[in-house]
Structure 1
Amino acid sequence: MTRSSVAPSPLFLILLAVTVGGGVLSTLDQNVARTAGIVLLVLGGWAVSLCLHEFGHAYLAFRNGDYSVRHKGYLTLDIRRYTDPVLSLLLPLLLLAVGGIPLPGGAVWIDRHALRTRRGESFVSLAGPMANLVIGLLLIATVVLTNPPEGLAAGLSYLAYLQLFTFVLNILPIPGLDGFGVIEPYLSYQAREFGAKARPWAPFVLFALLIGVPLVGQAFSGAVLWIYQSLGGDITELFKGQAGFRFWEGRSPW
């Protein structure tokens, strides 16, 4: 692997700068600037985490024998390599903004036949959700250990919750999600064949249930909230961040 293969793209650095800029704005005393900062922090942070999620898949695939990911540009952290402009970027961003549900937004195409072992296949699928889990833990730790200004603490807490939400959602053993990819190499031929047929529509059924059936969405969100609190997350800051991000609902957190 050459050094240039894993060098962050300029676009990734711009997304990172937007996230940091949002964090700085969120520390200001002026409510409009603080709210705008939270929005930029959460949206920018979510886009950065999408890149890291997909990079995790690609990097583990490269390490396990699929060298095509380098030529596809997956190791550059360039969000354009991971997304379709509408289906995997604008739509998830819209649903995140309106419904607060961070749907998986990216995709990398892995040559599974090139991977050397079943264990390697599992690790490739697991790498993406683990990136979200690690990011969520780091964000929680940042809030707990550094005691940042109120707006920044709120934005980081809400972003941490979204990372854990994404982790739990992706790790479900449902065809089309990473959790199924973790166990798929060890399933029978019949089960893998069923998974291949269900892969195009099964995630959409899950998303429809989460968004359209309040009891399902509330139960899932409640489980993620329990995990968030168990890991040390501040629930008060989380709800402040959520209210600041979804400012149009009129629930001022300040």
Structure 2
Amino acid sequence: MTTAASRRSDRRISPVFLGIVAVMAVTGWATWTGFAEEPGVAVFLFVTAAWVVSLCLHEYAHARTALHSGDISIGAKGYLTLNPLKYTHALLSIVLPVIFVIMGGIGLPGGAVFIERNRIQGRWKHSLISAAGPLTNVLFAVVCTAPFWLHALDGVPGAFRFALAFLALLQVTAAILNFLPVPGLDGYGVIEPWLSYDIRRQVEPFAPFGLLAVFAVLWIPSVNTTFFDAIHSILNGLGITDYQTFCGQDLYRFWRGTDPYCVVTR
């Protein structure tokens, strides 16, 4: 029997998530103050922790929207605790996106929460549930880029500025990739309720491979160049230069050595 106490525990923020937030806060402080002897280590931990926090919030947005749309089973699955270990595919949801960031500096999305769609009535609700996740990435990108488009960078240390620029790049790429109408991604989930039953049935077998297909296509040099040109155009419009994102990624991949072009100033 579901009790008020059990409902509260279903929604209590997980210590795992709070621990990740604590790492983000401490390493963000270390990046800002220059406390760490090697700024790249602090930037790596700060950006990685912030990226995982954004992934958790992304999935929380899906789950919370599903709860209010009629899937009351969400709470019992632990999705409202923001604990990444509760996701149906922790490897796809957390581990692989972090590996993608380390390998190529790209915010690839992952699969995560299981929603009982049969409990939800109305095509708009289904679309909104799918859109809620990438919209969280959009909001995260707005927060990361705010100091740049508000011209509020006076006094912001160079390392922290570069870290924010790289984190913004990850959020923008995640939002755009998530909104692609590819089976298995949120963009397809937005339009799926409006497709005919026959089309949905034909497309369904390809859903597990959608993310891998996107990753494979992005390895094509011409596609990769075009994609990142578009990303940098968006970031430039938000006040972030290519130099800032380059140096942010350079500091993040500290094990390769810092490019002398990226001078960290205070």
Give the TM interval when normalised to the shorter protein.
over 0.9
Residue aligning to 1:235: 242
Give, as a single letter, the amino acid of the residue that structure 1 aligns with 2:254.
F
Q: Does 1:198 align with 2:206?
A: yes
Residue aligning to 2:109: 104
Give, as a single letter, the amino acid of the residue that structure 2 aligns with 1:197.
P
Structure 2 length-normalised TM: 0.88
Offset, 1:205: 1.5
Residue-by-residue CA offset, 1:70-98 (whole Å, 9 max, x unaligned): 11010111111126454443333222112
Offset, 1:169: 0.4
SS of the equivalent of 2:110 reads coil
Distance 1:249 1:214, change over 3 A: farther
Q: Does 1:168 align with 2:176?
A: yes
Q: Does 1:226 align with 2:233?
A: yes
Give, as a single letter, the amino acid of the residue that structure 1 aligns with 2:25.
V
Structure 2 portions without partners, runs of 5+: none
1:180, 1:233 → 2: CA distance? 30
Distance 1:219 1:249, change over 3 A: farther
Distance 1:51 1:106, change over 3 A: farther
What aligned pairs does 1:167-186 form with structure 2 within 5 A after superposition? 167-186=175-194
Structure 1 portions without partners, runs of 5+: none
1:231, 1:187 → 2: CA distance? 35
Residue aligning to 1:60: 65
Tell me the number of residue pairs that the alignment of Structure 1 and Structure 2 aligns. 253
* Higher mean C-alpha deviation, range 164-173 or range 231-240: 231-240
Distance 1:67 1:230, change over 3 A: same
Offset, 1:192: 1.0
2:170, 2:231 → 1: CA distance? 9
* Higher mean C-alpha deviation, range 68-77 or range 83-92: 83-92
Give, as a single letter, the amino acid of the residue that structure 1 aligns with 2:228.
S
2:251, 2:55 → 1: CA distance? 22
- Is the radius of gyration larger for structure 1 or structure 2? 2
Residue aligning to 2:253: 246
Aligned residues: percent identity?
39
Q: Does 1:120 align with 2:128?
A: no
Residue aligning to 1:214: 221
Decide whether the 8 Å contact of 1:18 with 1:44 is kept in 2: yes
Residue-by-residue CA offset, 1:115-134 (whole Å, 9 max, x unaligned): 12110000000000000010
Give, as a single letter, the amino acid of the residue that structure 1 aligns with 2:167.
L
Give, as a single letter, the amino acid of the residue that structure 1 aligns with 2:68.
R
2:49, 2:88 → 1: CA distance? 15
- Aligned pair partner of 2:30 in 25, 28, 38: 25
1:165, 1:90 → 2: CA distance? 17
Decide whether the 8 Å contact of 1:9 with 1:76 is kept in 2: yes
Residue-by-residue CA offset, 1:35-81 (whole Å, 9 max, x unaligned): 11110111001100000000000000000000111110101111111
Distance 1:226 1:125, change over 3 A: same
Decide whether the 8 Å contact of 2:24 with 2:47 is kept in 1: yes
Instruction: Give the CA RMSD over aligned residues.
Output: 1.9
Decide whether the 8 Å contact of 1:25 with 1:33 is kept in 2: no
Distance 1:155 1:29, change over 3 A: same
